């Protein structure tokens, strides 16, 4: 490494790849959930028929649900990239919520439910595999 490399650059280089993967997955899912929420709010016919689901035919509530998951994912991804323990907690909560939702919608949208479940399991693995890592430059 060149001598002019700052400590923040070293910190970002020493972050485990799985932790970065978890943050990127959460940001990606959050963006897709925001787009999905916009479709729900617009009462679009491009979304799956979830009329027999938890919120029934109330697409506005499905949109709020997706926005909640998106906000949780944005907060968790940001906190993970900052090296905070709070990001891990939010990441586990996010993954748990997504797994529960996947089980509730898997009969209506099987590919979506299965893909979301796999991503949540990978995030849980990423968080647990890197549980010993902390950002040493963040604390004084």
Where in the chain are the domains? 27-129
pTM: 0.73
What integer pLDDT is reported at residue 119 of this predicted model? 93
CA dihedral 49, 34, 58, 46 (to 10 degrees): -30
Per-residue pLDDT at 140 exceeds 60: no
What integer pLDDT is reported at residue 28 of this predicted model? 94
**Each residue of 18-56: pLDDT tens digit?**
888 999 999 999 999 898 888 878 765 555 555 555 555
Interior/surface letters 108-127, b for 16+ CB within 10 angstroms, e for the rest: ebeeebeebbebbeebbebb
Of 28, 43, 129, nearest to 88 by C-alpha is 129
């Amino acid at each position: 490494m060149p001598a002019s490399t700052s400590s923040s650059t070293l910190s970002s280089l020493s972050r485990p790849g799985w932790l970065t993967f978890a943050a990127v997955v959460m940001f990606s899912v959050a963006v897709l959930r925001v787009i999905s929420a916009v479709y729900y709010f617009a009462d679009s016919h491009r979304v799956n028929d979830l009329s027999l689901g938890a919120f029934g035919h109330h697409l506005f509530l499905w949109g709020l649900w997706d926005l909640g998951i998106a906000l949780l994912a944005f907060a968790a991804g940001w906190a993970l990239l900052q090296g905070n323990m709070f990001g891990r907690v939010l990441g586990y909560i996010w993954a748990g919520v997504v797994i529960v939702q996947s089980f509730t919608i898997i009969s209506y949208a099987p590919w979506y439910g299965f893909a979301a479940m796999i991503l949540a399991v990978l995030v849980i693995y990423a968080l647990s595999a890197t549980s010993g890592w902390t950002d040493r430059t963040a604390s004084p």
